[in-house]
Amino acid sequence: MDGSTALNLLALFVSAGALATSFGVSLRQLRLADNSNVLPVIIDMFKETRSPEFLRSVEYIRAELPEEPREQSLSPYIYNERAEHDTLTMPYFEDLAARARATSGAAIHAQLGLRRLRPPA
């Protein structure tokens, strides 16, 4: 093997190493970018639930609406809010609330097999 062949092989190994490093770094960047897309959704959700308009609506529901027929009295407001504020995050919470209301806490605990700690004697 002469000097030029050795130099060409060395250049080939250095190029292969650079390609492997570049590939690894680009995969890491893709994973980081994919994970960072969650944060804006969470921030948007907090903005919606912390706005003065939202807090006034919650206070109105708590203070002014009657206790008994709350389900019937809330329906028009919920539908109006949906129509006025077409958001991407709140339907998930609405679905979660509907599921939580349909199933009792005791049934969920039994299904998951959750146990309680006994107080120390």
pLDDT score of 24 more than 80:
yes
pLDDT > 90 fraction of the chain, expressed in percent and rounded: 17
pLDDT of residue 68: 56
Q: Average of pLDDT values for 103-120?
A: 83
Domain membership of residue 23 (yes or no) is: yes
pLDDT score of 74 more than 70:
no
Domain membership of residue 95 (yes or no) is: no
Domain membership of residue 9 (yes or no) is: yes
CA–CA dist 44, 81 (Å, integer): 16
Domain membership of residue 15 (yes or no) is: yes
Long-range Cβ contacts of 87-93 (<8 Å, 24+ apart): 87/44, 87/48, 88/41, 88/44, 89/41, 89/44, 89/45, 89/48, 90/45, 90/48, 93/45
pLDDT of residue 97: 75
Domain membership of residue 21 (yes or no) is: yes
* Residue numbers of the domain that contains 18: 1-36
Domain membership of residue 29 (yes or no) is: yes
pLDDT of residue 63: 76
pLDDT score of 80 more than 80:
no
Number of structural domains the chain divides into: 1
Give the helix/strand (H/E) hosting 94: helix 90-102
Q: Is there a contact between 42 and 92 (Cβ–Cβ < 8 Å)?
A: no
pLDDT band at 105; cut points 50, 70, 90? confident
pLDDT score of 70 more than 70:
no
Domain membership of residue 22 (yes or no) is: yes
Domain membership of residue 32 (yes or no) is: yes
Bigger pLDDT: 112 vs 78: 112
Q: Average of pLDDT values for 35-64?
A: 78
